[in-house]
Amino acid sequence: MLERLFGLKAHGTTVGTEALAGGTTFLTMAYIIFVNPAILGDAGMDKGAVFVATCLAAALGSLAMGLLANYPIALAPGMGINAYFTYTVVIGMGQPWSVALGAVFVSGLLFLILALTRVREAIINSIPRSLKLAISAGIGLFLGTIAFENAGLVAAHPVTLVTLGDLHKPAALLAAAGFVVIAALDARRVPGAILIGILGTAAAGMALGLTPVPATLASLPPSLAPTFLKMDVAGALDLGLVTIVFVFLFVDLFDNAGTLIGLAHRGDLLDERGRLPRLGRALIADSLAAMASGVLGTSTTTSYIESAAGMKAGGRTGLTAVVVAALFLAALFLAPLAAAVPSYATAPALLFVACLMARGLADIAWDDATEAVPAVVTALAMPLSFSIAHGIGFGFITFAAIKLLSGRGREAGPVVLLLAAAFVVKYALPG
């Protein structure tokens, strides 16, 4: 049955190799079951329900990718977009988290429509590469800002906006040490470096009495009822909230496309023409996972670049993703452990992921001001305005304006010019 489903022999792999690859991928991305409830919990959502939703969304998404597209690519609620969900939509804009879940569902549905048509290719190809890189890097800087705040390494200041935190506090020192450990373990290519850093930092905090030790590490999963089917689709479709849906869709579309292509290069999955076979099926799996996220009660689920670790371990087929799905289901019974992990223990993971995302700035054409300047504006605006949406808006406006005034308007293209005009109108309107 496995041979028929995944073509193991044709891909030069075995069940054992795929199982090992799946376990490796899971270890590198399992940190999300600790980080996601912490972030969405700040939005007022029930952390236990979010933990269950995170595990189920990851399992369903990975299973869909494995069975529909037969790729060794795992999915889970994405980093960055969960921060946008909480800190921009809910806290920044004052929207109920149910409306944010509705926006996640609607954006997933729109993504599915795009995945079933050729429109997705036109949109992806029309956005300048420099802005794509800058958006990813800017989200990384945004995550880094949140990480420094959660760790207590920076604090608010009435004059300078931010200042150095109290470095005498044990939690701040533990967070800093946890980050260094994660980076060192990753440099040594230790599987699960981020997960080890989170659990190690939490354990050190418990040993020092900063965090209570959980009575048990495993139990039956918490109830999903507080978040299940709680999305407010009607609220998300309100004309004034179109930007929210757009950003969810935009980030999901380009994050998935970039991740899939990047993994295809690393895993030698491209065909002789340099294209990814079954790309449509992979995007359909992603879009279905995004819709399931809104139903279950978590932020958008997306493909994980950490799947490269499983590919390096020999994963070549969808069986790897199916193994990851099974392990996320098994993780449902670790709710007490997830609840015991404090924010200073997840902060090192956020900061390390931020560093990984920021490396996209290295590939920007720095000798071309019409490309580099909008990229820097995009990346800086996200953490400084504490909004991914504003960063994208400022980036598009800057890119279009500089290209037009420099006599190179054709390089912007109609899609970019249209989006830039839409953002100008949005900022010009009161409120």
Q: Which of 166, 160, 197, 132 is nearest to 345 (CA)?
A: 197
Distance CA(63)–CA(301), nearest Å, equals 13
Q: Residue 414 domain-assigned?
A: no
Structural domain of residue 328, as residue ranges? Answer: 2-128+167-355
Distance CA(83)–CA(80), nearest Å, equals 5
Q: Is residue 294 scored above 80 in pLDDT?
A: yes
Q: Residue 286 domain-assigned?
A: yes
Q: Is residue 343 scored above 60 in pLDDT?
A: yes
Give pLDDT tens digits for 95-115: 999 999 999 999 999 989 888
Q: Residue 97 domain-assigned?
A: yes
Q: Residue 393 domain-assigned?
A: no
Q: Residue 73 domain-assigned?
A: yes
Residue 51, both tokens: 């933990």
Residue 64, both tokens: 């869909």
Q: Which residue has the tokens 């299973």?
A: 63
Give pLDDT tens digits for 199-228: 999 999 999 999 899 888 889 999 999 999
Instruction: State whether the Cα torsion 353-355-358-359 is positive or negative.
Output: negative
pLDDT for residue 42: 93
If one counts the domains in the chain, the total is 1
Give pLDDT tens digits for 143-164: 888 889 888 998 888 888 889 9
Q: Residue 100 domain-assigned?
A: yes
Q: By the 8 A CB rule, do 34 and 346 touch?
A: yes
- Residue 297: left (phi > 0), alpha (psi -120 to 50), or beta? left
Residue that wins the pLDDT comparison between 9 and 326: 326
Q: Is residue 274 scored above 60 in pLDDT?
A: no
148-153's contacts with Cβ under 8 Å and 24+ in sequence apart are 148/347, 148/351, 150/175, 150/343, 150/344, 150/346, 150/347, 150/350, 151/175, 151/176, 151/344, 151/347, 151/348, 151/351, 152/344
Q: What does the pLDDT average to over 263-274?
A: 64
